[in-house]
């Protein structure tokens, strides 16, 4: 539980809150809701306080501005609908389908190929997987990472996403090639990726960090600071690409080297365009003058850790 003395505190505004307003989080200090928090809105000039919803804030602001309350509310509802449609479209672009559309996409995949299995997904080029044994039941939970690093928990979701791409006319010959690599019995047999079970989930650290950073401005969150590109087929090198920081030659390798070495890494090779380091739990770590960091490792937890060190500490400490 957070320290009650830190409340009330200002938190980021939700969408569509009128300009000149702020959002405050309060904590119940007694009663059955002790320790729980709640949100209230207030105008920065102090005219309005303890407003319980964005809609109520819009009404108050409209009346204060001498505008039509009904028109202001109607505009708010229109914006909400537009945002909902935009989010649904973005989910579709990411392959996340729902309802009848999801079932249709799954059927398209089945008709084009066959019923998808974990063994098949393990053959997809650029995809990786992580097997974790669940403490309570002892079963193995699989997480699959596609060629863009997006995690997938359910085979059905992968099947729907790929089926949706087929419905949009996208050509993906690599699916058939990956399936053909498996002999008949192996296609529907055990998933070879399940043989490499480890303790812990590589996403745990990310989930906890996102929860801690939920109140930070977007441009300060580490999940917005870099893109993690998985290895290409047959390789184990991951690429950490910082967002909106570099041009082709802007990283001062000499300046960042002491930061890296202070974290326990050793610089073993220097060239004009890149420095190569070795460190704990990792193979070679190559820092390029372009700002990209290449990490040779099969340990996804270690990869996430060094990516956060790089973008969240080493780069920020540079002059």
pLDDT for the residue numbered 286: 92
Q: Report the CATH fold assignment for 226-312.
A: TATA-Binding Protein (3.30.310)
Q: Mean of the pLDDT values across residues 69-86?
A: 89
Give span(s): CATH 3.30.310, the chain. Answer: 226-312
pLDDT for the residue numbered 3: 67
How many residues can be counted in the chain? 319
**What token pair was written down for 316?**
């920020």
Query: Using CA of residue 98, residue 101, residue 102, residue 103, what is the dihedral sign?
Result: positive
pLDDT for the residue numbered 51: 92
Tokens 């060190």 identify what position? 309
Residue 207 has pLDDT above 60, yes or no: no
Q: Are 269 and 276 in contact (CB under 8 A)?
A: yes
Q: What mean pLDDT, rounded, does the chain reach?
A: 78
**What token pair was written down for 155?**
């085979």
Q: How far apart are the first and last CA of the chain?
A: 37
Q: Report the CATH fold assignment for 99-182.
A: Methyl-cpg-binding Protein 2; Chain A (3.30.890)
Q: What's domain 9-91's architecture?
A: 2-Layer Sandwich (3.30)
Per-residue model confidence as pLDDT tens digits over 182-193: 755 445 555 555
pLDDT for the residue numbered 170: 86
Contacts of 144 (CB under 8 A, 6+ apart): 118, 121, 127, 128, 129, 151, 152, 153, 158
Is the pTM higher than 0.75? The answer reads no
Give span(s): CATH 3.30.890, the chain. Answer: 9-91, 99-182
């Amino acid at each position: 539980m957070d320290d009650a003395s830190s409340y009330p505190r200002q938190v980021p505004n939700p969408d569509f809150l009128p300009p000149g307003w702020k959002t405050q989080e309060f904590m119940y200090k007694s009663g059955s809701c002790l320790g729980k928090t709640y949100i209230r809105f207030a105008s920065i000039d102090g005219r309005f306080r303890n407003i319980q919803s964005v809609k109520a804030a819009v009404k108050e602001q409209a009346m204060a501005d001498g505008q039509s309350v009904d028109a202001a509310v109607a505009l708010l509802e229109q914006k909400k609908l537009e945002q909902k449609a935009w989010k649904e479209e973005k989910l579709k672009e990411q392959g996340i389908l729902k309802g009848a559309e999801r079932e249709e996409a799954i059927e398209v995949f089945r008709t084009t190929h066959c019923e998808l299995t974990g063994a098949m997904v393990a053959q997809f080029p650029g995809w990786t997987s992580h097997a974790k044994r669940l403490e309570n039941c002892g079963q193995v939970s699989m997480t699959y990472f596609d060629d863009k690093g997006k995690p997938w928990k359910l085979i059905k979701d992968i099947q729907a996403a790929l089926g949706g791409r087929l419905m949009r006319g996208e050509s993906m010959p690599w699916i058939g090639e990956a399936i053909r690599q498996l002999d008949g019995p192996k296609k529907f047999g055990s998933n070879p990726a399940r043989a490499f079970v480890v303790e812990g989930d590589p996403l745990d650290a990310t989930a906890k960090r996102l929860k801690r950073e939920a109140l930070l401005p977007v441009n300060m969150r580490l999940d917005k600071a870099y893109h993690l590109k998985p290895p290409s087929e047959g390789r184990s090198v991951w690429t950490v690409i910082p967002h909106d920081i570099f041009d082709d030659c802007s990283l001062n390798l000499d300046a960042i080297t002491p930061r890296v070495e202070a974290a326990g890494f050793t610089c073993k090779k220097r060239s004009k365009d890149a420095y190569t380091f070795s460190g704990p739990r990792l193979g070679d770590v190559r820092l390029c003058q372009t700002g990209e960091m290449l990490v040779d490792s099969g340990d996804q937890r270690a990869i996430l850790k060094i990516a956060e060190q790089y973008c969240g500490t080493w780069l920020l400490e540079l002059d």
